[in-house]
Structure 1
Amino acid sequence: MKFIVVSYLKDSDRPDRETDVSEVGVEALADLLGIPADSLVDVYPLGEGPLAALQRVTGLSFDLSSHEYFLESQAFGGEDAQQSLGWPTGAMAAGTRVTVIRDSSWDGPWQAAFQGTIDDLYAPGPVRHSMAREGELAYWVVFDEPQYDSSGDGPFRGAQIWDRYLKRAPEA
């Protein structure tokens, strides 16, 4: 796993800096947050105490008066890592650029079509829903811009998206 600290200017939805802190180690980072190391698989807000500890260990500086900080865990990319994470054979690879589309038969699941990237946070998994198509997968997609769903909830920076709502984005 790779661990990064992501900083956001207060009242901003866009990160302004990412810093790899993997060298600190999963055990130390888990202790810093007060969670078991095998549970360190998500995004965690970092407050004054954890940031002070990170500063002592890494020499990084943090400014809580102007920024908010989050620790994010990321699985290593690449085909070998994807296979070890149970990445389904034939599934779109992590890093694939996609367009998330709206369904032509109803007003959703998102307010508009938009761009994103298949992420390796979780391997694609089968959609377990009565409306799912045979063999349909759900992918974790990170959005280029925060988005609102068709109910007006959000903004979301990423979500699990059924593959019927994903189209490979044209290559630049």
Structure 2
Amino acid sequence: MTFLIARYDKDADFTDDRWDITYVGAPALREIFAVAPEGDIGDVYAITREHAAALTKLTGITFDLAAYEYFLEPEAS
């Protein structure tokens, strides 16, 4: 599974940018998005302020939630 963060301009329906954060690992992402340890992390998740804070610590990505919407978008590899 590949884990991507997709950024969308709030005024558009297309992806503005993407980052591969697969290196963070499924266990850490399950914890951030409150998915049970044995749960499926294959859904798309909207990134909230709390998620963004945790992801910034792990990835160094800066989130501008006022201008953009962000989603964790897992893809089968």
Give the TM-score, by structure 2 length.
0.94
For the residues of structure 1 that align with 2:44 and 2:29, how far apart are their CA atoms? Answer: 12
Give the structure 2 partner of residue 51 of structure 1.
Answer: 52
For the residues of structure 1 that align with 2:76 and 2:36, how far apart are their CA atoms? Answer: 17
Kindly report structure 1 stretches of 4+ aligned residues shifted beyond 6 Å.
none
For the residues of structure 1 that align with 2:48 and 2:12, how far apart are their CA atoms? Answer: 17
| Cα deviation, residue 42, structure 1 | 1.2
Higher-Rg member (1/2): 1
* 2:17 equivalent to 1:13: no
For the residues of structure 1 that align with 2:9 and 2:75, how far apart are their CA atoms? Answer: 22
Amino acid at match of 2:59: T
| Cα deviation, residue 6, structure 1 | 0.2
Matches within 5 A, 1:84-123: none
Give the structure 1 partner of residue 36 of structure 2.
Answer: 36
For the residues of structure 2 that align with 1:30 and 1:11, how far apart are their CA atoms? Answer: 29
CA-atom RMSD in angstroms: 0.9
Q: Secondary structure at the match of 1:39?
A: coil
Give the structure 2 partner of residue 65 of structure 1.
Answer: 66
Paired residues in the alignment total 76
Identity %: 38
| Cα deviation, residue 36, structure 1 | 2.1
Give the structure 2 partner of residue 79 of structure 1.
Answer: none
Q: Secondary structure at the match of 1:12?
A: coil
Listed as ranges, the gaps of 5+ residues in structure 2 are none
Q: Deviations over 1:26-45 (max 9, x none)?
A: 01001000012432011110
Q: Secondary structure at the match of 1:11?
A: coil
Give the structure 2 partner of residue 75 of structure 1.
Answer: 76
Give the TM-score, by structure 1 length.
0.43
For the residues of structure 2 that align with 1:3 and 1:36, how far apart are their CA atoms? Answer: 17
